[in-house]
Amino acid sequence: MDVSNDPLRTAELTVIGQVTTASNVTLVCEAEQDEHQVLRVVYKPVRGERPLWDFPDGTLAQREVASYAVSEALGWGVIPETVLREGPYGIGMVQRWIDIVDEGPDLVDLVPVGQIPDGFREVLRALDPSGHPVSLVHAADPRLLRMAVLDVLINNADRKGGHVLAGVDGRVYGVDHGICLNAEPKLRTVLWGWAGEPIEDELLTDITVLVKALPGELGARLAELITDTEIEALEARARELLEHPVLPLPSSQRPIPWPAF
């Protein structure tokens, strides 16, 4: 693949802002696409990462790129294009910016108990900061279902509601995959609405393609980003879904990330 003219990979990045609510340094940048257009991206330099004791191998940036590679191998396009490259503060993860829909209900939301919108599924009930009972809900959207299955495959430890984006292009994207692909079970997600339900044949076909791709080019690419043990665990999770095609039930005492948004 010729990447010499791909601004995401090669163009000089100019920092225009920072996401101050992020746990690690997250910068918004622009890259000149041509004489009349600029490409907006998210840039997370490795030097701005906070070490995590339970993710000691590699970098969070590498895990972001590896998660993107898995999404692409499945053909699902859940994760925006993501690369590892040099930037203003050294090597880091660079990802295409997603313009989001700012109207209508959020795909993941908190609503008063008993007021679940049509087409939504309840995940749990809790109390909001004011002590009022609320339900955590998410849309029963097939685009979101693919994301839920992807989270199982990549063992996503941090699928917050704010990591689910409804793009203006009509697609649903997931972002922030720095703590994924650990060999130990760590699935924490707000997308438990399908737990215990069968996985559709179409998705299982895509997972079969993923398993067949792992010994080849995909596996070689992942080996540059995560450990062999983690690649083997990814394959084991995929095979488990093929042998038992049901979305798992929560199995830990903390199945939802904190905060949830």
- The domain spans of the chain are 1-97, 99-197+246-261
Say whether pLDDT at 237 is over 90. yes
pLDDT tier at 121, thresholds 50, 70, 90: very high
Q: How many C-beta atoms lie closer than 10 Å to residue 137's C-beta? A: 25
pLDDT of residue 57: 86
Whether the bond between 259 and the residue before it is cis, its omega within 30 degrees of 0, is yes
Kindly give the interhelix angle for 201-213 and 228-243, rounded to the nearest 10 degrees.
Answer: 150
Phi and psi, residue 146, nearest 5°: -60, -40
Say whether pLDDT at 2 is over 60. no
Return the minimum-mean-pLDDT range out of 55-64, 128-137, 138-147, 217-226. Answer: 128-137
Contact 188, 255 (CB under 8 A): yes
User: Looking at residues 11-17, what average pLDDT do you find?
Assistant: 93
Q: pLDDT tens for residues 178-225? A: 999 999 999 999 999 999 999 999 999 999 999 999 999 999 999 999
pLDDT of residue 56: 85
Say whether pLDDT at 260 is over 90. no
If we measure between CA atoms, which residue out of 5, 23, 22, 28 comes closest to residue 88? 28
Q: Euclidean distance between the first and final Cα of the chain, in Å?
A: 37
Q: pLDDT tens for residues 51-108? A: 888 898 889 999 999 999 999 999 999 999 999 999 999 999 999 999 999 877 789 9
pLDDT of residue 3: 58
The mean pLDDT of the chain is 92
Residues 6 or more apart whose Cβ sits within 8 Å of residue 177 = 63, 64, 67, 68, 79, 154, 156
Phi and psi, residue 131, nearest 5°: 90, 10
Residue 7 CB burial class (10 angstroms; 0-12, 13-18, ≥19): middle
Residue 105: both structure tokens together:
């209900």
What pTM value is reported for the model? 0.93
Say whether pLDDT at 12 is over 60. yes
User: Looking at residues 148-162, what average pLDDT do you find?
Assistant: 96
Say whether pLDDT at 252 is over 70. no
Q: How many C-beta atoms lie closer than 10 Å to residue 91's C-beta? A: 15
High-pLDDT (> 70) share of the chain, %: 97
